[in-house]
């Protein structure tokens, strides 16, 4: 709440206007239905699960690309997909109003870690498949993982630290 108060003060709001706005927010929170409260508490974990499943699906879908292509093209494809899905993730996270700093810290830790593991495993499997098929394609699993995780994180980093958009709650 203190973050909201300081932002409103910077915009030139008076004490009465700020108190009225805080009362409206407080009353709105009190009047939420039990179903709405239930969904708000669960949406974070549902979103996390969807993101993890989606990223695993992306990594598995990229396996034929990693098996068939060599050189810079697979990295370009991975960067583009990472940026696209990272931007979608950023939009969704930004639209969930009740997330606090601890939620963002947890997401900032668990998502890249999971991405690194997923892409590392898929890259190793694609290298084994290529070797079994007698293809000359081989990719560094660590580099593939880092490229995707970095690409995925870039939209968050740009919004949060370059544009300095202060929409995250401070708890």
Report pLDDT digits (tens) over 81-135.
Answer: 999 998 988 887 777 766 677 777 787 788 888 888 988 999 999 999 999 999 8
Residue 73: how many other CB atoms lie within 10 Å: 11
User: Residue 82 is encoded by which pair of tokens?
Assistant: 């990472």
Classify 166 as helix, strand or coil.
coil
Looking at residue 163, the DSSP 8-state letter turns out to be S
Which residue, among 163, 145, 141, 151, has the nearest Cα to 85 in the 3D structure?
151
* pLDDT digit string, tens, across residues 25-73: 888 878 888 888 788 778 878 888 888 888 889 889 999 999 998 889 9
Which residue, among 118, 109, 119, 97, has the nearest Cα to 153 in the 3D structure?
109
The CA distance from 87 to 83, in Å, is 6
pTM for this entry: 0.71
User: Residue 11 is encoded by which pair of tokens?
Assistant: 């915009």
- Phi (first) and psi of residue 134, to 5 degrees: 80, 25
Beta-carbon contacts of 40 under 8 Å, excluding residues fewer than 6 positions away, are 32, 98
């Amino acid at each position: 709440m203190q973050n909201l108060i300081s932002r409103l003060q910077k915009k030139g709001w008076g004490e009465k206007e700020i108190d009225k706005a805080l009362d409206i927010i407080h009353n709105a929170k009190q009047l939420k239905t039990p179903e709405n409260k239930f969904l708000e508490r669960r949406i974070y974990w549902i979103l996390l699960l969807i993101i993890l499943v989606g990223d695993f699906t992306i990594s598995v879908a990229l396996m034929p690309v990693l098996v068939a292509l060599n050189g810079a093209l697979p990295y370009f494809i991975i960067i583009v997909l990472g940026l696209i899905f990272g931007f979608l993730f950023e939009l969704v996270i930004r639209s969930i109003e009740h997330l606090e700093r601890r939620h963002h810290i947890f997401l900032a830790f668990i998502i890249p870690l999971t991405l690194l593991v997923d892409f590392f495993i898929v890259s190793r499997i694609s290298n084994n498949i290529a070797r079994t098929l007698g293809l000359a394609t081989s990719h560094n699993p660590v580099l593939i993982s880092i490229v995707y995780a970095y690409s995925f994180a870039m939209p968050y980093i740009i919004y949060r630290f370059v544009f300095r958009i202060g929409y995250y709650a401070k708890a």
